[in-house]
Amino acid sequence: MLVRGIRGAITVVSDDKELVIAATARLLKKMQQENQFREGDIISVFLSATPDIKSVFPAEARRLLQWDMVPLMCFQEIDVAGALPLCIRAMVHINSDKEQDEIKHIYLEEARSLRKDLIESPAILP
């Protein structure tokens, strides 16, 4: 079994606690669905938020997913001029038998613009 990293990102329309938690949960759930892993396959999850998100730690979304035993850590994204605002990024490390090119990276909402090369068809992602 190999360790694989799954990348993803999502944006919110405002820095609102409920929006941030719901968006993070939606992103992580989509990452899980598309890559077909179980909670027990997760090694760790790193979450970053742009400096304009201050209302809540995105890791609080774990409660909505019931990922009670998953180690999560939050970071502040580097404040780069012109960067996509109100963005939450995720890196999920899993144990998997999948090859690197079988991993599906998930970018939702305005974050789709970040890595068009990693998403198959932005039109089909909710």
Question: Helix %, strand %, coil % for the chain, to 5?
Answer: 35, 30, 35
Kindly name the residue from 7, 34, 60, 110 that is annotated as catalytic. 7
The catalytic position among 62, 87, 109, 112 is 62
- Whether 26 sits among the annotated catalytic residues: the reply is no
34, 60, 110, 115: which is the annotated catalytic residue?
115
Q: Quick check: is 87 catalytic?
A: no
Location of structure tokens 């919110």: 12
Q: Is 65 exposed, middle or buried (0-12, 13-18, 19+ CB in 10 A)?
A: middle
Q: Considering 4, 77, 109, 112, which one is annotated as catalytic?
A: 77
Catalytic hit among 4, 107, 109, 112: 107
Tokens of 16: 């609102």
Q: Which of 26, 89, 109, 112 is catalytic?
A: 89
d(CA 84, CA 62): 24
The answer to whether 89 is a known catalytic residue is yes
Q: Say whether 74 is catalytic.
A: yes
The DSSP secondary-structure symbol of 29 reads H
Catalytic residue positions? 7, 62, 74, 77, 89, 107, 115
